[in-house]
A and B are shown apart, each in its own frame.
Chain A
Amino acid sequence: MWEYTDKVKDHFLNPRNVGVIETPDGVGEVGSLACGDALKLTIKLDENKRIEDAKFQTFGCASAIASSSALTEMIKGLSLDEAKKINNEDIAQYLGGLPKEKMHCSVMGRDALEKAIAHYYGEAEKKTEGEIVCECFGVTDLEIERAVKENNLETIEDVTDYVKAGGGCGNCHEKIQEIIDSVTGKERVLEKAHKQLTNIQKIKLIEETLDREIKPALEKDGGSIELVDVDGNLVMVKLRGTCATCSASEVTIKSYVETKLRELVTSELVVEEVQ
């Protein structure tokens, strides 16, 4: 059974603001029957353009109902600019936290709110923006990218927990990984840029890595490796022993030696074999 907080249970069993506002100022609908959860949010503004009333209808599990109920409570009395700032993390926090696998319920709340506000301003549906990555749940690359950025997601599983993408047939896992990499990869490059190595430091680190990590691994197969020269980011090596005559030596160089050096020294390195 899920570990729901008392607040989640309370909002599930005694949901606040269930229903539809008859003449709403904004309507936000997200999800579908096929997806397993859906939320319709209606909001009404007062003369000062603050949210006077909010009502919801939700099809979904306990945390989906609780997230919707919490959302309506949170936004009442707020101006639209204030309401815009509410994100899925705020909804989850209001409820004392949600199980990780259920975070998509809070994202659904945030999405419905955004749509309702956009609807009020008469903005066109943003639905077609981006390219569908997950066919099963109709999730776009932009939605995935946003979730990864906002919640510091690191794995495909995380993405599934937050926006459902990848939770169906699994055909899109590769694409999701690419998006994660492109988001986190950018940051990784920035981090590395801070610790620029001098040439001497770089060569020393390459030597150390070869001795400590790479040679012992190759020696297990009766091979070895020798550093010939380093020119900028070009690392020139010679393979020894069985590696020298191995038909897969190219693969060894690229997929093992280069990867390892990039990981432990700097990501710009290129390794080449010299005769």
Chain B
Amino acid sequence: MKIVYMDNNATTKVAPEVLDEMLPFFSQFYGNPSSMHSFGDTADKKIKQAREKVAALIGSAPEEIILTSCGTESDSTAIHAAILSNPDKKHILTTRVEHPAVKNLCEYLFKKGYRVTFIPVDRKGCLDISFLKKNLTVDTAIVSIMWANNESGVIFPIDEISQITKERGIIFHTDAVQAVGKLPIDVRKVNVDMLSLSGHKIHAPKGVGALYLRKGTKFSPFLIGGHQEGGRRGGTENVASIIGLGKACELAWGHLDEQRTRVKGLRDQLETELLKKIPEAMINGDQEHRLPNTTSIGFEYVEGESILLMMDRFGICASSGSACTSGSLEPSHVLRAMGVPFTAAHGSIRFSLSVYNTPEEIDFIIDNLPPIIARLREMSPFWKEAVG
């Protein structure tokens, strides 16, 4: 069965060009980049190039990039660094819609005695900036706000926030895992102090990420060990994956225009046609400030897991904000924070595209999803009541 993969905010396929660059570094050039022989130096040189490519994608200097094992490690490193280097400050400001990598860490720190403020979002998933301003204090150690939301795709005004934090001299970290490679990002223009990115969301393999650390920002390592990454992250480098990340960043740079045009076009077509063919469906999230590849659609009176499993029979891969898919009983914290009504939250499906998606795949979903929704609605005790 052909797979129609529209779950790229969950993970992406490793690009063939990325894999090609990686392969020799498993069994051919397997030297340790720290070794004092030219064999190891081959790997070291490639890591240097990879670091430059990662830096180029976000406009930083190569030495401002710390290579990590994933987005979560980058987030944890950033937040721990901020609180460890400001031991007298006990307040963290974040949002109610962060990825668990930040959300659960902040909840953990709350239990450890930190004061944590979660900024609410409105019905469209947009941040309440005045709430943010009101809650900054002299005690605030860090502000951590995602660049774009993984579920709704809503983009936050990172530039505006970074002006506010800069004026107050507060460290600002952004989890840009979903934004990097989909939006142009330039840390020379935006005053973030730290920025997390992840390889597997941009066609590099799983298990590699990076943290941008603005020069001059106080820092304290999270993984303590060897001298790697300038003493900022111990542990022998994941050489092949880092090389893959470098290549993926180079490719992503080249695809930025395509994201804005072709990928967005496909997404818009999918969204428009589905809403046209399926009554009682709604888009979750602000459509003006949104990632070009993401759409979250709430199909009322049906349940997300059922939709996903029926789509699975057609090889269609997507995600759901429904409770049942996660093992929890409530719909996603993002949809709840947005106040999406229960009738739609349980039946919300997220499609997230990549540059590899084709118009044929969009047509395939447009043909096959409406009958699935209709079938589940026939089974639902609420449907007939709702439409009369």
Contact = CB atoms under 8 A, between A and B. Distances in A.
Interface of A: 12-13, 15, 18, 29, 33-34, 36-40, 57-62, 64-65, 101-102, 136-137, 160, 164, 167-168
B380 A36 contact: no
* Chain B: interface size category: 20 to 34
Given A29-B381, A33-B342, A40-B381, A59 B329 contact: no
Interface stretch (B227-235, B299-307, B351-359): B299-307
17 contacts: A13-B313, A18-B378, A29-B381, A33-B346, A36-B303, A36-B322, A36-B324, A36-B331, A36-B346, A38-B381, A57-B379, A57-B381, A59-B301, A60-B303, A60-B306, A61-B325, A136-B329
A40 B327 CA distance: 24
Given A62-B305, A136-B330, A168-B329, A36 B323 contact: yes
Q: Is chain B's interface secondary structure helix, strand, loop, or mixed overall?
A: loop
A33 B343 contact: yes
Contacts of A137: 329
Nearest to B304: A61
B306 A101 contact: no
B327 A101 contact: yes
Nearest to B329: A167
B294 to A, nearest CB: 22
Q: Is chain A's interface secondary structure helix, strand, loop, or mixed overall?
A: mixed
Contacts of A59: 301-303, 379-382
B382 A61 contact: no
A15 B310 CA distance: 13
Interface of B: 301-306, 309-310, 313, 322-325, 327-331, 342-343, 346, 378-382
A15 B301 contact: no
A65 B382 CA distance: 14
A255 to B, nearest CB: 21
B379 A58 contact: yes
Contacts of A34: 342
B306 A65 contact: yes
Contacts, number: 70
A57 B380 contact: yes
B273 to A, nearest CB: 25
Could you say which of A12, A29, A62 has the most chain B C-beta atoms within 10 Å of its C-beta?
A62
A58 B378 CA distance: 9
Nearest to A18: B379
Given A34-B342, A167-B329, A65 B323 contact: no
Contacts of A13: 310, 313
A41 to B, nearest CB: 10
A39 to B, nearest CB: 7
Contacts of A102: 324
Contact of B306 (A12, A29, A38): A12
B235 to A, nearest CB: 32
B127 to A, nearest CB: 23
Nearest to B313: A13
Could you say which of A13, A61, A168 has the most chain B C-beta atoms within 10 Å of its C-beta?
A61
A62 B342 CA distance: 18
Given A18-B378, A33-B301, A36-B303, A61 B329 contact: no
A29 B313 CA distance: 30
What are the nearest 3 A-B pairs in CB distance? A167-B329, A61-B324, A61-B305
Given A36-B303, A61-B322, A101-B327, 20 more contacts: A15-B379, A18-B378, A36-B323, A36-B329, A36-B342, A37-B324, A38-B382, A40-B381, A59-B301, A59-B379, A59-B380, A60-B303, A61-B324, A62-B305, A62-B306, A65-B306, A136-B329, A136-B330, A137-B329, A160-B329
A167 B328 contact: yes
A44 to B, nearest CB: 18
Given A15-B379, A36-B322, A37-B303, A62 B309 contact: yes
